[in-house]
Every structure is written in C-alpha cells, then in structure tokens.
C-alpha cells in the first residue's frame, strides 16, 4: 500500500512538472519575437539604410518583449502594449507611408499569430 501511494505521488509530480514546462515553453515562444529581416525587407522594398535601422528597432522591440515576459502579470500587459506602440512609432519614422501601411499589416498578423494582439 505504501509503495502504491509513493508511486502515485511520483507520477503526479512528474505529470505536473511536464505540464508546467509545456506552458512555460508556449509562453516563452510567444514573447520570442524573431523576424526574418530579409523577407520583411523584400515585402516592403526597403533600402539598405532602412533595413539596418529596422534591425535596430526590432532588436529594441525584442528586448522590450523579453522584459515583459519576465514581468509580473499586472505589468506584462502594459509593457507589451508599450513595446508595440514604441515599435510602430519608430517604424513610422523609418518607412514611407506606403511601406508603413504594409508593415502594420504584417506586424499585426505576427502579433495575432503569437497571441499577443491588443
């Protein structure tokens, strides 16, 4: 009886550990925002200067999203919203109005696919 109880406790703890690591992995992948700069540059027809600047802005956005991931739940939503606003604001300075319109569509789809839409 004692063995059965210990085996049940061990199985339950392994199950909980597995489920927790699975949820953590899904959450982490949502905040890991890697972009294929080459494809974005081709889609938006960016110049080399625009592409370099876009990479810098994207690195800043990635850092802000990683900070949001490690924040408390109360702060996380605000930090994500601020990171998105900053990204769109910076990109509006870099891109032409037509490019920015396309970028906004691509960016919104990316955020929606990751479950981070506003």
- Residue spans of the domains in the chain: they are 32-113
Question: Would the CA dihedral through 70, 71, 77, 81 be positive or negative?
Answer: negative
| Segment 100-112 mean pLDDT | 88
Residue 110 has pLDDT above 70, yes or no: yes
Q: At what angle do helices 48-70 and 73-94 cross, to 10 degrees?
A: 170
Judge contact between 87 and 114, C-beta under 8 A.
no
Q: Name the residue among 19, 23, 22, 52 with its Cα closest to residue 37.
A: 52
Q: How far apart are CA 20 and CA 82, in angstroms?
A: 28
Residue 40 has pLDDT above 80, yes or no: yes
pLDDT, residue 89, reads 93
Judge contact between 67 and 79, C-beta under 8 A.
yes
């Amino acid at each position: 009886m004692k063995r059965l109880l210990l085996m049940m406790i061990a199985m339950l703890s392994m199950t909980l550990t597995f489920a927790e690591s699975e949820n953590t992995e899904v959450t982490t992948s949502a905040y890991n925002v890697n972009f294929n700069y080459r494809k974005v540059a081709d889609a938006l027809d960016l110049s080399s200067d625009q592409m370099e600047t876009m990479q810098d802005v994207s690195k800043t956005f990635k850092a802000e999203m990683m900070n949001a991931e490690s924040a408390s739940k109360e702060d996380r939503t605000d930090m994500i919203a601020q990171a998105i606003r900053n990204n769109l604001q910076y990109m509006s300075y870099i891109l032409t109005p037509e490019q920015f319109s396309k970028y906004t569509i691509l960016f919104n789809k990316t955020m929606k696919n990751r479950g981070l839409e506003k």
